[in-house]
Amino acid sequence: MAIMNFGGVQEEVITRDEFSLERAKEILKDEVIAVLGYGVQGPGQSMNMRDNGFQVIIGQRQGSKSYARAIKDGWVPGETLFDLEEAARRGTVIQYLLSDAGQKSFYPTLLPYLTKGKTLYFSHGFSITYKELTGIIPPDDIDVVLAAPKGSGLSVRRNFLEGSGINSSFAVFQDASGHARDKALALGIAIGSGFLFPTTFKNEVYSDLTGERGILLGALAGVMEAQYNELRKHGHSPSEAFNETVEELTQSLIRLVGEKGMDWMYANCSTTAQRGALDWKGKFQKAVEPVFADLYRSVADGTEARIVLDRNSQSDYREKLDAELKEMGDSEMWQAGKQVRNLRPENWNKQA
């Protein structure tokens, strides 16, 4: 365990040097890890654990696209790939990686398989934090833990293959065995985390829902569209507006931020950009603070959870989602983006 100082605030961080893969293997040596769900997080986490030498099986609905994908990824029906119920029966650690709505729907079926001594694992605090809405109340005689990668399932796998790992949070909701913390950390290391930091189920879901709706996805798309549209109003071409709004951010500046931080990125751009950014940063902050306050309240009072469970449980959810995503993809900004991406040097040979 390392104690890190973040601007005067001390936090605990666990690295792979301090909690080794070998230690994780020792803790989980007798466990059969059943990954239920092969959608967003399931593939990356399960393949990383398999490559790390853990006993892993997959539970997925037969006939689904994800079931076919699991076979393509090397999981063998009847050996390491089963339907959801059979995997739950066989597993001693149940990694519950269905969608939030899917977790609510399947839980009555899962419950009989959550027998004494098992471990129920989440990568999101949603179902436990909003248990009044989901009905997910685990039996008292099992461990309930969380390891939540701070990135997409694709990043979990990609970072693992590159050797860097991904940052993850971990938490214990219920410690029936007296060893739940060690299990949570071992599973976090098993899935390929570079380091882990402690949280609670509640804090994980509050920060996650706020981040997804805010700077990570919702706010990012919204401010991009606002700037792009403003440039287009004043006669800037689609390619110019897209390059100044998206391409320079994703291909240059955000990489500098990721490398050493925002202050370092500021220090390595033009003096004109520095001055303008410093002058306008506070104005943008004040403009969006009320929006973030409303967003956090909506997360904390359960409004966002109710919306998710209602919308994502509808029979035509996928069709409606596809229509919304198509509308975004068909917009001028993202059509311009397709053309601009085709002009990147790495795509030149593909066009030849």
204 is in an annotated binding site: no
Residue 6, pLDDT above cutoff 80: no
User: β-strands 9-15, 193-198: how paired?
Assistant: antiparallel
What is residue 344's predicted lDDT score, i.e. its pLDDT?
79
Predicted confidence band at 109 (pLDDT cuts at 50, 70, 90)?
Answer: very high
pLDDT at 285: 96
pLDDT for position 152: 87
The sheet carrying 2-6 orders its strands as: 2-6, 9-15, 193-198, 166-174, 143-149, 119-122, 93-96, 33-36, 56-59, 81-82
Known binding residue 85? Answer is no
Query: What average pLDDT does range 289-314 have in this prediction?
Result: 95
Instruction: Note the pTM of the prediction, 2 decimals.
Output: 0.90
Catalytic residue numbers read 124
Q: How far is CA 178 from CA 21, 91, 114, 281, in A?
A: 21, 20, 17, 48
Domains and CATH numbers, the chain: 2-205 (3.40.50.720), 211-351 (1.10.1040.10)
Q: Which pLDDT score is estimated for 4?
A: 67
> What's residue 352's pLDDT?
44
pLDDT at residue 348 tops 70: no
Give residue-wise pLDDT tens across range 164-195: 889 999 999 999 999 999 999 999 999 999 89
- What's the start-to-end Cα distance of the chain, in Å? 53
Find the range with the poorest average confidence among 38-52, 86-100, 251-265.
Answer: 251-265
Q: Is the pLDDT of residue 8 over 60?
A: yes
The string of pLDDT tens digits covering residues 32-84 is 999 999 998 999 999 999 999 999 999 999 999 999 999 999 999 999 999 99
Residue 310 is assigned to a ligand binding site: no
Amino acid at 7: G
Residue 316 among known ligand-binding residues? no
Q: Is 166 left (phi over 0), alpha (psi -120 to 50) or beta?
A: beta
Torsion angle, alpha carbons of 62, 68, 70, 74, to 10? 120
pLDDT of residue 5: 66
Residue 244 annotated in ligand binding: yes
